[in-house]
């Protein structure tokens, strides 16, 4: 549902609740006022984005994908600060299947401005994994350092450590033996 239709519903319910208070039907007015407050909440928090976050907490990727598909036009259905999280969730969705799509979505979410530091760290970690898969180890090291600095609470410490060991292993494999003749 577009934000403009939510605002119209909010105004309708709010004006009817004021009218109910005016004609001394206080309980109807209270109920309609509560409904208008719920609608106002959903203007600032998209219901499908909230459901997608609940599904990802339960590690239900298919459920998250289902709710993200309901958002067909994020620029019209979401407010400005929700759009980066829409792309962030799509980046997480594609992180297991298509790392290049995931990289595109994560970069877009970082460019649009993720707010929470742990989400920024996750996005940078995914970008580092994509850089490793492309063979750009220098960029991957920079992104891992940034993710490590941002991850204050150590939530991603094990993942960063694992990726650093994989990066060192791939660096040793790519290193040629100086004693071997071609």
Interatomic CA distance for residues 176 and 182, integer angstroms: 11
Q: What is the pLDDT of residue 167?
A: 81
Which band of pLDDT confidence, cut at 50, 70 and 90, is reported for residue 181? low
Q: Tell me which of 151 and 27 has the higher pLDDT.
A: 27
Residue 172 has pLDDT above 80, yes or no: no
Q: What is the pLDDT of residue 171?
A: 63
Q: What is the pLDDT of residue 173?
A: 58
Residue 175 has pLDDT above 70, yes or no: no
Residue 75 has pLDDT above 80, yes or no: yes
Where would I find the H helices in 45-177? Answer: 47-57, 61-69, 74-77, 83-94, 99-112, 117-134, 137-150, 157-174
Contact between 17 and 32 (Cβ < 8 Å): yes
Contact between 134 and 99 (Cβ < 8 Å): no
Average pLDDT over residues 15-43: 93
Interatomic CA distance for residues 54 and 74, integer angstroms: 19
CATH homologous superfamily, domain 46-174: Tetratricopeptide repeat domain (1.25.40.10)
What residue ranges do the domains of the chain occupy?
Answer: 1-44, 46-174
- Residue-wise pLDDT for 111-169, tens only, equals 998 988 989 999 999 999 898 888 888 898 999 999 999 988 888 888 889 888 888 87
Average pLDDT over residues 56-70: 92
Contact between 159 and 125 (Cβ < 8 Å): yes
Q: What is the pLDDT of residue 178?
A: 54
- Residue-wise pLDDT for 8-21, tens only, equals 999 999 999 999 99
């Amino acid at each position: 549902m577009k934000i403009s239709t939510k605002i119209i519903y909010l105004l309708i319910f709010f004006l009817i609740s004021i009218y109910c208070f005016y004609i001394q039907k206080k309980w109807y007015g209270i109920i309609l006022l509560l409904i208008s407050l719920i609608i106002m909440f959903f203007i600032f928090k998209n219901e499908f984005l909230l459901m997608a976050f609940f599904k990802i907490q339960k590690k239900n990727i298919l459920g998250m994908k289902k709710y993200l598909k309901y958002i067909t036009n994020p620029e019209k259905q979401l407010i400005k600060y929700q759009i980066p999280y829409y792309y962030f969730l799509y980046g997480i969705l594609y992180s297991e299947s298509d790392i290049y799509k995931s990289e595109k979505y994560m970069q877009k979410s970082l460019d649009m401005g993720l707010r929470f530091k742990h989400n920024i760290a996750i996005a940078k970690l995914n970008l580092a994994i994509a850089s490793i898969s492309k063979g750009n180890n220098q960029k991957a090291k920079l992104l891992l350092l940034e993710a490590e600095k941002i991850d204050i609470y150590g939530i991603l410490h094990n993942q960063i450590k694992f990726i650093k060991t994989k990066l060192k292993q791939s660096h040793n494999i790519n290193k040629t033996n100086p004693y071997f003749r071609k």
